[in-house]
Amino acid sequence: MNLSSVDLGIILVYFVTVVLLGLWVSRRGSKDLDSYFLGGKTLPWYMLGVSDASGMFDISGTMWMVYILFVYGLKSIWLPFLWPVFNQIFLMMFLSAWLRRSNVLTGAEWIETRFGRGTGANLAHLSVVFFALINVIGMLAYAFKGIGKFAVVMFPWNYSENTYAVVILALTSLYAIKGGMISVVITEVLQFLILSVTSVMIGIIAIVKVSPDMVRRFVPAGWESPFFGWKLGIDWTGIFDKVNDAIRQDGNEFFMIIFGMMFFKGVLASLAGPAPNYDMQRILATRSPREASLMNGMVNVVLYFPRYMMITGITVLAIAFLMPELQAMPKPDFEKLLPIVLAHHVPVGVVGFLLAGLLAAFMSNFAATLNAAPAYIVNDVYKRFMNPAVKPRTQVTMGRLSSVAVLVIGILFGLLTHRITDVMMWIVGALYGGYVMSNVLKWYWWRFNGHGYFWGMIAGIVSAMFIPSLASMVMGYGVNPLYTFPFILALSIIGCFAGTLLTRPEDDEVLMKFYKTVRPWGFWGPIREKVMRLDPSFEPNRNFKKDMTNVAVGIVWQLSLTALPVYLVLQNWQWFGIVLATLVATSVFIKYNWYDKLPR
């Protein structure tokens, strides 16, 4: 693409502004580890919520969502259940408050509040660090592949995907590594404002340039409906046969099975609480449990409308104007639809702002991911097991060096990957599958101990690293990692129960302190009785029905927030009215049954 001097100037000014702003505020993040990783727990919840939303608005994920909306139509709104997106609803309704009451720095440090400091607790602690680092490296490889594919189409210089990715990652790392959490949050708020404006602009351009009939002429029957049967119910035969090949490559033909596994795994993953990444970091950085819940509510409110305006706008422009070009390609790469549309169908001058917004999306997610990793190396390995007396300034320096090391490893893995979808499916279908059971049981079952946590995590993580590849070897072709989830989960469950039942329970003192501080509901009967004998005034958590009712309504609310901008850009007013009415009704319910009942 031949960018104009105006577009290049906008992008350059944006990059310089963001990097200088990040470096300028970085002094506030250099006092100690709490300041570096959590911003001293002084940042307001709404700023952390916008920052968290900005971190989720990543360019790789946006390219993937454009791809799935193009291929699967409105049925694509279910595919983000892979992550699962509705974990934000579980966090919003109750789990953020539970996590924030622990008052720790990282997910691994949280283990001490649940299992104490014995051998089992130390093993559990290290297994969290192991998962967190693998997760971050996987996410960095995912970001690397996405930004490379994007940049090679958008920028005019004849460099490879990998060269662009290395340069952009290096620039973003400057402020993320130097300033820690405060630099990341401040710059992410600015980035999200730019991103939201540019996203709405893309949606408006699509509404103005494309009529509903222009879209319907090029898509199969059922494309605009979110409903499906045993199979997907979309057939591109005779319209664009190569799209059917993409569906087969994804392994999503039997969509009812895929949906069932996505939802089952998603509920388990959501009950497990946040993975040890930037999402958890922002919860722990809030000022109180109430603000932690509000922060996750803010993520849902601000994220979906602008993001899906962009996703739908790009998809609609591709369908209306690029079909002949795509059909002529011997092997079209649908993951490149986003940059291809921007290169052909956005006016000069506007392109610069749009690219700045999309680069903001990438920088937000990348910086947040990179900032989450070194806390585990410094705080949870070096400080805990090697040098408890390490000075705060030394911890910050080590955090920066750890960031560089993790970045280099992530880039190396990025060089070995070929598709955004492959990396993403392994992370959410296999790796997170190995994570869930240990982290569900830790909240809801008093007897679960550190040994059970460790063996459940190790069995799950190691099997996630090998079973998908083994399945592909046996079948003779690539297998969707989600199909291997039941086997990974079964091995993790065996590890959890064997490790727990073959070793003694954790000390009553540790369990009683955890239960009294965090106040979870679940199978805590023996511990609850002991706490209430010592403190008759203690009020146990009896909100299970309320919380799960709010979760069920909240998932519908979140789906409405997702579908509303899609139908707006498609100008399908019948579905738009149905979704809007559903959104209003669920919003009123959530206001009275959740917001009004948050503890003051």
pLDDT of residue 396: 74
Question: By mean pLDDT, which of 4-18, 252-266, 571-585 is the weakest?
Answer: 4-18
Range 218-244 average pLDDT:
93
Token pair, residue 121, equals 């607790």
**Backbone φ and ψ of 59, nearest 5°:** -70, -35
pLDDT at 19: 67
2 — pLDDT class (breaks 50, 70, 90):
low
* 419-430 pLDDT tens trace: 777 888 888 878
pLDDT band at 364 (very low <50, low <70, confident <90, very high): low
Q: What is the mean pLDDT of residues 51-71?
A: 86
**Lowest-confidence segment of 111-120, 146-155, 581-590 by average pLDDT:** 146-155
| Residue 595 scores a pLDDT above 90 | yes
Res 33: pLDDT = 45
Out of 35-44, 179-188, 232-241, give the one with best mean pLDDT.
232-241
Average pLDDT over residues 136-143: 84
CA atoms of 564 and 381, how far apart (whole Å): 45
Contact residues for 37 (Cβ-Cβ < 8 A; gap 6+): 105, 106, 180, 181, 281, 371, 375, 379, 399
Confidence at 360, pLDDT banded by 50, 70, 90: low
Q: 373: which DSSP letter?
A: S
The rounded distance, in Å, linking the Cα atoms of 20 and 18 is 6
Q: Which residue has the higher pLDDT, 162 or 210?
A: 210
Span 151-169, average pLDDT: 83
Sign of CA dihedral 101, 106, 109, 111: positive
Tell me the per-residue pLDDT of 450-462, one tens digit each, with 9 for 90 and over.
999 999 999 999 9
Q: Give the tens place of pLDDT for each residue, 249-295.
A: 888 888 999 999 999 999 999 999 887 666 777 888 888 999 999 99
Band the pLDDT of 534: cuts 50, 70, 90.
Answer: very high
Residue 556: pLDDT over 50? yes
pLDDT > 60? residue 32:
no
Neighbours of 271 (CB within 10 A): 18
Mean pLDDT of the chain: 86
pLDDT (0 to 100) of residue 384: 75
Least-confidence region, from 128-132, 247-251, 320-324, 454-458: 128-132
Tell me what pLDDT residue 107 has. 64
Greater pLDDT, 202 or 422: 202
Stretch 564-584: mean pLDDT, rounded? 97
Provide the pLDDT for residue 402. Answer: 83
3-state secondary structure 46-113: HHHHHHHHHHHCCHHHHHHHHHHHHHHHHHHHHHHHHCCCCHHHHHHHHHHHHHHHCCCCCHHHHHHH
Output the pLDDT for position 105. 67
Q: Assign a CATH topology to domain 5-425.
A: Sodium/glucose cotransporter (1.20.1730)
pLDDT in the model for residue 189:
80
- pLDDT of 381 > 90? The answer is no
| pLDDT value, residue 39 | 47
Q: Give the pLDDT score at 38.
A: 46
Contact (CB, 8 A) for 337 and 320: no
Give pTM, 2 decimals: 0.88
Distance of CA 377 to the CA centre of its chain: 21
Q: Which of 7-16, 255-264, 319-328, 480-489 has the lowest mean pLDDT?
A: 7-16
Q: What is the pLDDT of residues 494-526, one digit of tens each?
A: 999 999 999 999 999 999 999 999 999 999 999
| Least confident stretch, 55-59, 162-166, 543-547 | 55-59
Q: Cα torsion at 543, 544, 548, 549 (round to 10°)?
A: -60
Residue 263 CA to residue 295 CA, distance in Å, equals 24
Spatial distance between the Cα atoms of 583 and 575, rounded to a whole number of angstroms: 12
Amino acid at residue number 471? A
Greater confidence (303 vs 385) lies with 303
Residue 335 above 50 pLDDT? yes
**Any idea where the domains of the chain sit in the sequence?**
5-425
- Where residue 104 falls among pLDDT bands split at 50, 70, 90? confident
Cα distance between residue 168 and residue 155, in whole Å: 12
C-alpha–C-alpha distance, residues 184 and 21, integer Å: 10
**Average pLDDT value for residue range 66-72:** 96
